[in-house]
Amino acid sequence: MSSLRIPATSLMLIVLWVQQAHTQMVSRQATGNGPKTLLEAVNGTDDTQANKSGSDDERLDPDRPHFPEATTTVGKDRVVLESGYTFAKKDSSFLSHSYPEALLRVGMFADWFEFRIGQNILHEEEKIGGMTNVRSGAQDLYLGMKLALTQQRDLLPAIAVIPQMMVPTGSSDFTADRVLPGLNVDMSWEIVKNFFSVEVLIADNEVAGKYASEIHTSHFETATGITAAFQVTKKLEAFAEWDATYQIDGSERGPRHYAVGGLVYFISNDLEVARTG
């Protein structure tokens, strides 16, 4: 049996912090920034005209709030910290606070390679049968790396892969007590330049149980997401998204579908606010 879920309305504040040494900036500009994808590096090509990422005064492409992550990396010698706060409420039955949603993205070795480490604290209150269950604490540590494989070429999408894992460092309310591996594949197409783009995610991860009765358990899950994003103005983006998760370990729990929409306002290159629901 499948189910459709429209998530509770939430408000997300996202801050991007960027650090890059001045001497490294000069070096990058002098060398033309080098190949931006693994395919360019393997083929010995450097198509900087097709890829404008890496410009130091250009707005970076963050991994959130879309379900699919960006298909670009932050660039060699650049450090980006994405941090945010999410508040979600569904009637009087569910309430959650999520912070700092920290994701540290470090460009190293080459422009197409990115190391990633993330940490978050979660507080949840859920009413079930007249009882209120409260869970609060740190979630397991996230470790991963992003490889930008290709840029978009006509109908062929830009592609990035993210091998990743969750390490059991979280509180007793949320830890899975084991390493949870996974792999995300992200694809994107710019359909109308500077106006309309499509993003797709296909992910296969071992994930921790989401409910109190499933603490310290895990299962394999396939997730898919497709996002249509419209650049309404230079600072305002509207997006619509359809996400789905499929438990693949033999459980009778059916697929879950989510319809998501929202607005993203870029206050500056380093600060954005998102309203989703």
Model pLDDT for residues 88-146, shown as the tens digit of each residue: 777 777 888 888 889 999 999 999 999 999 999 999 888 877 788 888 899 999 999 99
CA distance 101 to 91: 24
Higher-pLDDT residue of 5, 110: 110
Domain of residue 39, residue span: 3-276
Reduced DSSP (H G I as helix, E B as strand, rest coil) percent helix, strand, coil of the chain, to 5: 5, 55, 35
Both structure tokens of 52 = 């404008």
- What are the angstrom distances between the C-alpha of 219 and each of 25, 65, 214, 222? 44, 25, 10, 10
Total domains in the chain come to 1
**pTM of the prediction?**
0.82
Q: How many CB atoms lie within 10 A of CB 192?
A: 9
Lowest mean pLDDT among 75-89, 159-173, 195-209: 75-89
pLDDT at 13: 59
Sign of CA dihedral 101, 157, 115, 179: positive
Short-list 71, 78, 69, 62, CA closest to 29: 78
- Predicted confidence at residue 93, as pLDDT, reads 77
pLDDT score, position 175: 87
Evaluate if residue 220 carries a pLDDT over 80. yes
DSSP string, 72-121: S---TT-EEEEEEEEEEEETTTEEEEEEEEEEEEEE-SSTTEEEEEEEEE
What backbone phi and psi angles, to 5 degrees, belong to 143?
-130, 140
- Give me the CATH number covering residue 11: 2.40.128
Residue 16, pLDDT > 90, answer: no
Q: What is the pLDDT of residues 161-200, one digit of tens each?
A: 999 999 999 998 888 888 999 999 999 999 999 999 999 9
* Structure-token match 């879950």, residue found: 256
Element (H, E) at 146: strand 141-150
- Cα atoms found within 13 Å of the Cα of residue 131, Cβ hemisphere only: 5
Burial group, residue 155, by CB count within 10 angstroms (0-12, 13-18, 19+): exposed
